[in-house]
Amino acid sequence: GEDVEQSLFLSVREGDSSVINCTYTDSSSTYLYWYKQEPGAGLQLLTYIFSNMDMKQDQRLTVLLNKKDKHLSLRIADTQTGDSAIYFCAEGESSSNTGKLIFGQGTTLQVKP
């Protein structure tokens, strides 16, 4: 079945760039998503990319998609302490109409002042 994998932890200094990586298995995924979860809160949609795009930029966020390698990355420029959270990569299950997203385990981003 479909699978999404991410590294579990990333630590950066405030002001540096953060890059969170993700690999997925479903080559027919239509959309790929990045969600952010702050402590005690739900998952907030950060951004998403359509599978026919290579890159999407939204203010400090840049998403890169390498469809050949099934690799997705999220770059956060000028990382701030408020960016500390868990980041989830997810792919849509395009082979069915369930609406289900397959989530990675989440990457905990720690931003040191």
Partner 1 sequence: EAQVTQNPRYLITVTGKKLTVTCSQNMNHEYMSWYRQDPGLGLRQIYYSMNVEVTDKGDVPEGYKVSRKEKRNFPLILESPSPNQTSLYFCASQEGAVSPLHFGNGTRLTVT
Q: How far apart are CA 11 and CA 51, in angstroms?
A: 29
Binding site for partner 1 (CB under 8 A): 4, 30-31, 33, 35, 40-45, 48, 88, 92, 94, 96-101, 103-106
Q: Which of 89, 87, 90, 91 is nearest to 12 (CA)?
A: 87
Quick one: 41 or 113, whose CB is closer to partner 1? 41
* Least distance CB 103 / partner 1 (angstroms): 4
Give the nearer residue to partner 1 in terms of CB position, either 82 or 99. 99
Between 6 and 18, CB nearer to partner 1: 6
The rounded distance, in Å, linking the Cα atoms of 108 and 68 is 26
Residues 19, 74 contacting (CB under 8 angstroms): yes
